[in-house]
């Protein structure tokens, strides 16, 4: 069996030391170019590289820009193009996931977000890892895994491989899939971190050298065998045969069907009367019946981030490229589309408005720069647009009593009229030390708004007035928040792996349940079913808490973050994960 060596390098220092080696290259980590500030230091480093003989190529990995704007990418490209040697890019979360355009601006200047090339009988492969908003947990998409598998098959077994990653394996939730693809290959891994850095890397024989890595750098190497990779991600029931006692709920789950689309699906499933719709980030729409059979697919060839909407027999979809489309739900045929010079990224909301004296169906969608647009359904005519925050929208919009509620990265929660876009109120917590960066998706009981903020506090806000009614700040709530069907219970998931139940009227705790589900990176909405609670997680497990507060994980969908569980009938539920795995199950 071939020897496999993994070396983790945390790159931070600048050096001009010349090694005795087969070849050397320069590596930048998190350049974070800002169009509004000086980039003199980066330009100087590029000049150093151009003046050092023997540098064969340059790799930029991590956040290339500070905000992912087109101006920053244009500036980056002008600097990178001044290099006299080839360069390769592995962009970070600020360039794509956390940018206002969700990576559309990156594509204008740099077409590929991963790379592979051969130099001196060694293959360098840059694998793109995605990260979730405001979190450092990474994930490798199914498309990236497929590309890697195809790439590795073209490389002879005796060839050396150097893998470039933006995150160390311990921070990649589905790292096992990567290991399985690379098992039994002769390779090294260079993994970056969150720090900015610049170094020269020397490749000599079987060893990679980094000159003067910072003192805490890890340069451990070890052998890995195929049998180390226990299993691929797979759906499975949790085995409770070894458990005894009365602490396990008697409610049982039955999987009716499961389906694997094996594609990145950032939005949740859209539930129709007799159809289910799910859209891959690559723009493929999947229409399925309630038995899991695919009815039709349509590839829009555009990047889709937000969840679509369904009005009667018309599906409405928005793209990061700025297109709003209406589609026949029965066939997938595009009816009409309109181009908007903005990246459309939020879930689409549907409303009814009075338009020139007639009641008309309309849709509202938000963009990456904080603008909301309202269009009529029949002709896609603009009714209104409004950009109140001028910053990123960080929650799913909630419409209740003609008020559209949303949170922005400027630290405010907004309430606007869904018929006109006029502001009712904007709210932010008082007397807090740090700026609020994010909110949970807002929930409502019809008269009040419930939201948790990135400061770990849960708030109850008057829907009409936008005033704080109570706050619960000692539980370290994360951004997954639920509300019971009666509106009497607020369900909190905490950063410490607990479930806290509060009386919605007073904000007082009445139950504390210890559930080790890990930290959330997506915003899950726990739901109630006949007095029981169903909760999804980012560790691939769905949990059940019964009326007596006994709890158990129901099943495991694999190492990928889950979307929220949705109820589709009296006893049936559906859930999907970010890799396009879907299950429909019942509880009895």
- For the residues of 450-492, what is the DSSP string, one character each? EEEBTTS-EEEEETTT--EEEEE-SS-EEEEEEE-TTS-EEEE
45's tokens: 């480093």
Tell me the pLDDT band of 266, cut-offs 50, 70 and 90: confident
Lowest mean pLDDT among 2-16, 27-41, 509-523: 2-16
Q: Could you tell me which residues come within 8 angstroms of residue 137 by beta carbon, excluding any fewer than 6 positions away? A: 131, 171, 173, 519, 521, 538
**Cα(480)–Cα(323) distance, integer angstroms:** 30
Map tokens 């087109």 to a residue. 70
According to the model, what pLDDT value does residue 221 have?
A: 30
Please say if the pLDDT value at position 435 is more than 50: yes
Is residue 143's pLDDT more than 90? Answer: yes
Domain annotation for the chain: domains and CATH numbers: 23-228 (3.60.21.10), 266-387 (2.40.128.630)
Mean pLDDT of the chain: 86
C-alpha to C-alpha distance for 61 and 90, rounded to whole angstroms = 5
User: What CA–CA distance (Å, rounded) separates 62 from 575?
Assistant: 32
DSSP 157: T
Q: How does pLDDT run across 288-333, given as a tens digit for each residue?
A: 999 999 999 999 999 999 999 999 999 999 999 999 999 999 999 9
- Of 181-190, 252-261, 440-449, the range with the lowest mean pLDDT is 181-190
φ and ψ at 178, to 5 degrees?
Answer: -65, -45
Say what the pLDDT of residue 246 is.
Answer: 44
- Residue 432's pLDDT band (cuts 50, 70, 90): confident
pLDDT score recorded for residue 146: 95
CB < 8 Å & 24+ apart, contacts of 554-558: 554/237, 554/238, 554/253, 554/585, 555/235, 555/236, 555/237, 555/238, 555/253, 555/255, 555/583, 555/585, 556/235, 556/236, 556/237, 556/238, 557/235, 557/581, 557/583, 558/174, 558/233, 558/234, 558/235
pLDDT digits (tens, 9 = 90+) for 36-74: 777 988 999 999 999 988 899 999 999 999 999 999 999
Distance between CA atoms of 135 and 520, rounded to whole angstroms?
9
Map residue 315 onto helix, strand or coil.
strand
Q: Is the pLDDT of residue 524 over 50?
A: yes
Closest CA to 528 of 588, 465, 484, 489: 484
How far apart, in whole angstroms, are the C-alpha atoms of residue 450 and residue 440? 9
Residues 464 and 449: beta-carbon distance below 8 Å: no
Residue 133: predicted pLDDT = 59
Pairing mode, strands 160-165 and 187-191: parallel
Higher pLDDT, 154 or 238: 154
| 204-213 per-position pLDDT tens digit | 765 666 554 3
User: What pLDDT is recorded for position 186?
Assistant: 83
- Residue 413 — φ and ψ, nearest 5°? -105, 130
pLDDT computed for residue 185 by the predictor: 85
C-alpha closest to that of 317 among 289, 355, 369, 281: 281
Measure the CA–CA gap between 503 and 149, rounded to whole angstroms: 51
Using the structure block, give the residue that is written with the tokens 């997954």. Answer: 480
């Amino acid at each position: 069996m071939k020897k496999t060596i993994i070396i983790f390098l945390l790159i931070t220092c600048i050096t001009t030391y010349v090694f005795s080696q087969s070849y050397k290259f320069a590596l930048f980590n998190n350049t974070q170019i800002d169009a509004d500030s000086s980039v003199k230091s980066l330009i100087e480093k590029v000049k150093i590289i151009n003046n050092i003989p023997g540098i064969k190529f340059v790799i930029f990995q991590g956040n290339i820009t500070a905000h992912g704007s087109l101006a920053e990418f244009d500036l980056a490209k002008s600097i990178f193009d001044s290099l006299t040697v080839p360069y390769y890019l592995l962009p970070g979360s600020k360039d794509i996931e956390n940018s206002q355009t969700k990576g559309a601006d990156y594509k204008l200047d740099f077409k590929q977000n991963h790379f592979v090339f051969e130099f001196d009988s060694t293959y360098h492969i840059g694998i793109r890892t995605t990260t979730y908003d405001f979190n450092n947990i990474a994930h490798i998409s199914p498309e990236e895994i497929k590309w890697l598998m195809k790439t590795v098959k073209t490389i002879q077994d005796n060839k050396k491989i150097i893998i470039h990653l933006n995150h160390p394996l311990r921070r990649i939730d589905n790292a096992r899939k990567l290991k399985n693809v690379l098992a039994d290959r002769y390779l090294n891994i260079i993994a970056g971190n969150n720090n900015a850095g610049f170094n020269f890397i020397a490749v000599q024989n079987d060893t990679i050298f980094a000159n003067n890595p910072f003192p805490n750098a890890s340069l451990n190497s070890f052998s890995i065998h195929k049998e180390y990779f226990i299993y691929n991600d797979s759906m499975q029931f949790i085995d409770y045969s070894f458990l005894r006692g009365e602490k396990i709920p008697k409610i049982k789950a039955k999987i009716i069907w499961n389906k694997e689309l094996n594609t990145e699906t950032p939005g949740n499933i859209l539930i129709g009367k007799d159809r289910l719709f799910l859209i891959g980030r690559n723009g493929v729409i999947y229409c399925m019946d309630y038995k899991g059979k695919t009815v039709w697919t349509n590839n829009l060839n555009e990047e889709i981030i937000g969840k679509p909407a369904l009005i009667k027999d018309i599906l409405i979809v928005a793209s990061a490229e700025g297109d709003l489309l209406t589609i026949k739900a029965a066939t997938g045929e595009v009816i009409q589309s309109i181009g908007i010079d903005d990246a459309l990224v939020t879930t689409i909301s549907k409303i009814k408005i009075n338009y020139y004296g007639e009641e008309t169906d309309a849709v509202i969608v938000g963009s990456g720069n904080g603008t909301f647009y309202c269009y009529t359904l029949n002709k896609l005519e603009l009714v209104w647009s409004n950009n109140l925050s001028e910053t990123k929208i960080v929650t799913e919009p909630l419409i209740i009593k003609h008020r559209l509620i949303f949170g922005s990265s400027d630290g405010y929660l907004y309430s606007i009229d869904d018929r006109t876009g006029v502001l009712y109120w904007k709210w932010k917590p008082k007397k807090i030390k740090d700026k609020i960066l994010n909110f949970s998706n807002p929930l409502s009981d019809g008269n009040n708004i419930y939201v948790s903020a990135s400061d770990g506090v849960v708030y109850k806000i008057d829907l009409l007035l936008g005033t704080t009614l109570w706050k619960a700040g000692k539980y370290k709530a994360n951004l997954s928040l639920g509300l019971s069907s009666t509106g009497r219970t607020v369900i909190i998931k905490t950063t410490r792996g607990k479930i806290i139940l509060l009386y919605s009227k007073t904000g007082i705790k009445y139950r504390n349940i210890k559930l080790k589900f890990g930290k959330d990176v997506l915003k899950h909405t726990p739901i109630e079913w006949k007095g029981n609670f169903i909760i999804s997680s980012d560790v691939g497990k769905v949990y059940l808490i019964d009326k007596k507060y006994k709890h158990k994980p129901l099943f495991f969908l694999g190492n990928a973050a889950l979307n929220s569980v949705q109820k589709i009938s009296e006893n049936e539920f559906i859930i999907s994960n970010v890799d396009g795995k879907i299950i429909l199950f019942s509880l009895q």
